[in-house]
Amino acid sequence: MSYFNLHTHKYTNRSNVLELVNQYPWAFDETIPQYSIGIHPWYIDESRLESDLQLIDKKLALPECLALGECGLDKRITIPIDLQAIVFERQITLAEKHQKPLVLHLVAAYQELIEIKKRLHITVPVILHGFSKNEQVAKQLLDNGCYLSFGKYLLRNPDLKDVFLSVPDDRFFLETDTMEESLEEVYAVAAEYRGISVHTLQQQVLTNRRQVFGV
């Protein structure tokens, strides 16, 4: 049974791991078999914005590109939130065009996401990676159709256990992002919290993968 890693910046090429590897248009690696591609709000560069969006549009048309991301909003950085929102909404338009899910980096902008989701009538799946907030925020996002992905904070913050348990079986993913700990460690803790075997957890996550990504 395979593990699925919803979001990682490091391609490991392991036979028992299916990886959604994060790629940036300005540093694209053709050798990675399955990936997401997007403009992270930290790395918005207006001088190359149009060429970045053009490459994202081109890659989203390919079957090996499973999602647009990571993209999103971060209110704790110096890049103006208005510019972030413009870039985010242009990427949403591309995801809708190609009917590919969105993998989001979101910091202190949950209400903004919900407003944008409703205003733009987003139809593709929306997944928040690296979720670390409380049950109230989780419920708001789940009630608005979002999926939540858990990784390092599930290992490092015991208070996240109840939040993770509040997420329905068909609405969560697991990931490593850039952390040192292994994907197997994330699955072991997640399975322990939910009171199931790692094998059963793998089956559930793979079912969710098929549901969201169609693969």
Contact 55, 28 (CB under 8 A): yes
Question: Rounded CA gap, 63 and 34, in Å?
Answer: 8
Q: Where are the beta strands (DSSP E) in 75-114?
A: 102-107
- Reduced DSSP (H G I as helix, E B as strand, rest coil) percent helix, strand, coil of the chain, to 5: 45, 20, 35
Contact 35, 213 (CB under 8 A): no
Amino acid making up residue 23: Q
Is 129 a known ligand-binding residue?
yes
Is 177 a known ligand-binding residue?
yes
Question: Rounded CA gap, 3 and 39, in Å?
Answer: 26
Is 199 a known ligand-binding residue?
no
> Which of 48-51's residues contact partners 24+ apart within 8 Å by CB, and which partners?
49/87, 51/25
Is 9 a known ligand-binding residue?
no
Annotated binding site: 70, 105, 129, 177
Annotated binding site for a divalent metal cation: 70, 105, 129, 177
